[in-house]
Amino acid sequence: MKRFAQLVWILAVACTAAWAQETAREIIEKADAVRTTTSEIMTMKMDVYDRMDAATPDSSVVLESTGNSDGDSIIVFTYPRSVNGLTILSKDEGQWVYFPSTGRVRKVSGAAKSGSVQGVGGDFSYEDLGTGDWGEDYAFTLVETLESGWVLEGTPEKEDISYTKIRIMIAREDYLPRWIEYYRNGPQPVKKLLIHETKVWDGVAMPALMEMQNLEKKSRTVLTISDAKVNTPVDDGKFTAARFYR
């Protein structure tokens, strides 16, 4: 009888684990779905604070980000003049950066992906500014169910991801994230992204005010979306590294 009870308990645990896995997959698929559009054109301001408790930014940049239905994106910095024209292209598994001052193009790979944008600084890395679906990049498990949503833990599915783990809180009301913790080979997160505000543009809800905290450097960077156009035609020809070599 004891053996039978143990078997029932083992099966119950196994079924619960399988259900949690399925639930995590469903949640992250819905979260990816609400973030999916045919195109996005966004104007953003990035305020860099060298200290976590600083009241005024040490530097600020303005950028325009354009994305298409394939998940490609191109970010062009427009202000200040020192970074005007600096461009980051994210396409498929690759990332390239164009420096207008020298006309040089560099492919971003390996350890460079975890660093901040050269000439811009701040706490958003090249990888953070890239594109991709969470469900494709990470394998998720459900670690906590809250009244307001769920906390999921993801481990990378691809070799070129610099984070060894992320934890993400998905809100029940709109399936948008409210915070994301990023880990690198340690029990404590190295960075945390806070989504302070969401907004609806052209019928699509998106994060509008985000703060990336670097918990190691004790610095933070605030990213504000001031304008967005969603599901409008974009020229797919601009999403190619060949445009930099003309």
CATH code of the domain containing 129? 2.50.20.10
Position 69 pLDDT exceeds 90: no
Check residue 22 and give its pLDDT.
52
**How much is the average pLDDT of 88-115?**
89
- Report yes or no: 222 and 211 within 8 Å, Cβ to Cβ: yes
**Domain ranges, residue 61:** 2-245
- Report yes or no: 71 and 137 within 8 Å, Cβ to Cβ: no
pTM assigned to the model:
0.87
User: What percent of the chain shows pLDDT beyond 70?
Assistant: 90
Position 6 pLDDT exceeds 50: no
Please state, in angstroms and rounded to a whole number, the distance separating the CA atoms of residues 130 and 125.
Answer: 9
Q: What does the CA dihedral 126, 188, 154, 40 come to, rounded to 10 degrees?
A: -30
- Report yes or no: 212 and 196 within 8 Å, Cβ to Cβ: no
Q: How many domains are contained in the chain?
A: 1
